[in-house]
Structure 1
Amino acid sequence: MDKTQSRLRRARQTHIKIARQRVARLAVHRTNQHIYAQVFSPCGTRVVVGASTVEREVRQQLSEKSSKGGNIDAARLIGKRVAEKAKAAGIESVAFDRSGFRYHGRVKALADAARDAGLKF
C-alpha cells in the first residue's frame, strides 16, 4: 500500500461519519506547493465557499511576505479566509475533514486559524 492509498483509506471513514451527521464540511487538501480549503453544503454535493493559495489576492499577500504557498503562514491565511467567507455565507459550524492528512503542520495551522476567525468545529 503506497502513501496515497493509505491517506485515502484513512479519509474514507471520516467521510462516512460526516455524511451521517448531515453538517457542513470543511475539507482540506494539500500539495507540496499549495493548500486548498472548501466548505461543502450539509448534503455534501455543493461547494459553498473555498479558498486556496492559487487565488490571485492570496498570492499577492504571500509575495509581500516573501513566502510561498506551501508553508504554515500560507495555511493560516487560507484558514482565516475560508472562515470569513463561510461566516459571510451564513455558516457558523462545520465538521473538519482533513482528507486523511495527519493533523499537524499546515493542516493544524489552517484549522487553528479557522477557529480563531470564528468558525466552530
Structure 2
Amino acid sequence: MKFSKKVLLRLKNKNKKLKPAKYKLLKRNSLRGSMKGTLERPRLSVYRSNENIYAQIIDDITSNTLISCSTLDRDIKFDLKNGRTCNASRLMGQKLAKLSLRQNITKIVFDRGPYLYHGRIKALADGVRDGGVEF
C-alpha cells in the first residue's frame, strides 16, 4: 500500500481508528517506495529509539547489510554518557562514514524512515557528510 502525503494526513486527521503504529508503517512504506539502494549507491537506513540510535547501509538489490553502527558500539559508548544526544548521533555518523569509506562507498541514499529530518536524525546526517560521504 503506497499512499501520498495528503492521503496519509487525511487518514490521520479524519479516521480516529487509525492507530499510531499503523500510521507510522504507512508513512514509512510510502517514503521507502521512492528510494532503493543499489551497490553503487546503497541506502542508509536509520532507526531511532528513546535511548539510542541505529544506522545501517543496505544494498536492496541483494538484500545485504553492508555496514551497521549504533550508539551502543564500544568506541562511541565509552566517549559519551548516553546515546540519546545529538552529539552522540554526530559522532556515530562520523564513524559510519569512516567505515563506509573503508569499503569504497562514497555515495549513499539517505532513508530517514518515518522520522522528521530534525534533531538526532539531522545530526547523524551531518556527521556522515562531515566524514566525506555524499548524499
Q: TM-score interval w.r.t. the shorter chain?
A: 0.7 to 0.9
Please show how residues 1-121 of structure 1 align to structure 2 within 5 Å. 1-19=18-36, 22=38, 23-43=41-61, 45-62=63-80, 67-121=81-135
The one-letter code of the counterpart of 2:122 is: K
Q: What is the aligned-residue identity percentage?
A: 32
Structure 2-normalised TM-score? Answer: 0.79
Alignment length (residue pairs): 116
Say if 1:70 and 1:120 are closer, same or farther in 2 by CA, change over 3 A: same
Q: Which runs of 5+ in 1 are unaligned?
A: none
Spell out structure 1 runs of 4+ moving beyond 6 A.
Answer: none
Query: Cα distance, 1:18 vs. partner?
Result: 1.4
Quick one: higher RCO (CA 8 Å, sep 6+), 1 or 2?
1
SS of the aligned residue for 1:49 comes to strand
Partners of 1:98 and 1:110 lie apart in 2 by: 10
Say if 1:78 and 1:3 are closer, same or farther in 2 by CA, change over 3 A: farther
SS of the aligned residue for 1:61 comes to coil
Query: Cα distance, 1:44 vs. partner?
Result: 5.5
Say if 1:44 and 1:113 are closer, same or farther in 2 by CA, change over 3 A: farther
Partners of 2:67 and 2:91 lie apart in 1 by: 15
Structure 1-normalised TM-score? Answer: 0.87
| Aligned-CA RMSD value | 1.5
More helix by share: 1
Q: Which runs of 5+ in 2 are unaligned?
A: 1-17
Query: Cα distance, 1:5 vs. partner?
Result: 2.6
